[in-house]
């Protein structure tokens, strides 16, 4: 399969140089800004951010994007899973708390359209609604034939994915949720995305004509099996990330409780 891909396309087609330059600039800008605003960045946050932006590049700028766009629906779903469920949490975890409390960033996230989209429930329903609508067969096939419209649609989904994660993962966001509310919010998002994944996994028909005439890269993987695999990949990645985030929330809650206990003990000793 990979031999066919590498023989059929040039290096520039396989690896998007524009995205590569942008990721380098974002990485440089991150370290420059965090040094200016937060004075320093913890190694853990820096590693999380860097992994996040480079995982994003793997999704949109590597051969994975080309394979998903032209050959395999499952590869396309893996790309989406990375862009919407893997990269945003990693990037947001990597942002210093001082950054989102900077006056400019705070105003940007609390006013206008972004202020509305940053509200957890609105972000959740908009993202999952547009994500599900995107996989409606006629709209999916139409967008695949209109690259500009598809790019705009994916840009909107990417923005909504970040706003959806912001309240859960950033303790200094304008719409910070408690650990308990965050668990409910994660459960809500898991429920909202399930119907479209179930439709793709359990459909008895090939839903997307885009892939019907695509060259078969894997001999034992039929078009229908590839479609079902795509739904499974999306659901597994999404659930895996959600479970990981639940673990992070649990440890965050436990850390807060330990701090409260230590404060209470010190107060008792002082009295």
Q: How far is CA 109 from CA 94, 149, 241, in A?
A: 18, 26, 24
Rounded-to-integer distance, Cα 247 and Cα 239, Å: 12
pLDDT, one tens digit per residue, over 165-219 is: 887 775 444 456 677 778 888 888 889 999 999 999 999 889 998 888 888 788 7
pLDDT surpassing 60 at residue 268: yes
For residue 106, give its domain range. Answer: 1-269
Range 211-220, long-range pairs (CB < 8 A, 24+ positions): 211/71, 211/72, 211/73, 214/70, 214/71, 214/72, 215/4, 215/71, 217/1, 217/4, 217/5, 217/67, 217/71, 217/72, 218/1, 218/72
Q: Residue 172's pLDDT is what? A: 46
Q: Residue 112's pLDDT is what? A: 58
pLDDT, one tens digit per residue, over 86-105 is: 999 999 888 877 666 666 66
Count of the separate structural domains present in the chain: 1
Q: Please give the average per-residue pLDDT across 43-72, as a whole number.
A: 91
Nearest Cα to Cα of residue 82 among 63, 95, 64: 64
Nearest Cα to Cα of residue 74 among 245, 235, 185: 235
Using alpha carbons only, give the angle 51, 140, 158 rounded to the nearest 5 degrees: 30
pLDDT, one tens digit per residue, over 115-151 is: 677 778 888 899 999 999 999 999 999 998 898 999 9
Roughly how many angstroms between the first and final C-alpha of the chain, as a whole number?
73
- Give SS3 for 232: helix
Rounded-to-integer distance, Cα 155 and Cα 185, Å: 23
Q: Residue 197's pLDDT is what? A: 92
DSSP string for residues in 169-199: H-TTSTT---HHHHHHHHHHHHHHHHHHHHH
- Residue 96 contacts residue 160 (beta carbons within 8 Å): no
> For the chain, what is the mean pLDDT?
83
Using alpha carbons only, give the angle 70, 76, 80 rounded to the nearest 5 degrees: 145
Share of the chain above pLDDT 90, in %: 41
Q: Please give the average per-residue pLDDT across 59-81, as a whole number.
A: 92
Indicate if the alpha-carbon torsion angle 61, 63, 67, 68 is positive or negative: negative
């Amino acid at each position: 399969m990979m031999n066919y891909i590498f023989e059929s396309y040039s290096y520039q087609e396989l690896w998007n140089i524009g995205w590569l330059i942008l990721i380098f600039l974002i990485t440089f800008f991150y370290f420059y800004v965090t040094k200016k605003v937060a004075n320093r960045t913890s190694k853990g946050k820096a590693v999380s951010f860097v992994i996040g932006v480079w995982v994003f590049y793997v999704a949109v700028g590597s051969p994975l994007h080309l394979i998903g766009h032209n050959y395999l629906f499952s590869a396309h779903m893996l790309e989406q899973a990375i862009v919407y469920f893997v990269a945003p949490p990693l990037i947001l975890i990597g942002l210093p708390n001082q950054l989102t409390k900077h006056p400019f960033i705070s105003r940007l996230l609390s006013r206008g359209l972004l202020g509305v989209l940053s509200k957890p429930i609105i972000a959740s329903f908009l993202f999952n609604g547009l994500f599900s609508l995107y996989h409606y067969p006629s709209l999916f096939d139409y967008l695949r034939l209109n690259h500009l419209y598809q790019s705009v649609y994916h840009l909107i989904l990417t923005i909504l994915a970040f706003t959806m994660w912001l309240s859960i993962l950033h303790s200094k966001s304008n719409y910070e949720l408690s650990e308990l509310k965050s668990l409910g919010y994660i459960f809500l998002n898991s429920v909202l995305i399930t119907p479209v994944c179930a439709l793709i996994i359990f459909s008895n028909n090939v839903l997307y004509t885009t892939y019907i005439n695509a060259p078969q890269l894997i001999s034992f993987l039929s078009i229908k099996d590839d479609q079902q695999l795509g739904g499974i990949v999306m659901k597994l990645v999404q659930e895996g990330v959600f479970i990981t985030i639940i673990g992070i929330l649990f440890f965050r809650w436990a850390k807060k409780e330990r701090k409260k206990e230590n404060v209470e003990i010190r107060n008792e000793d002082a009295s």
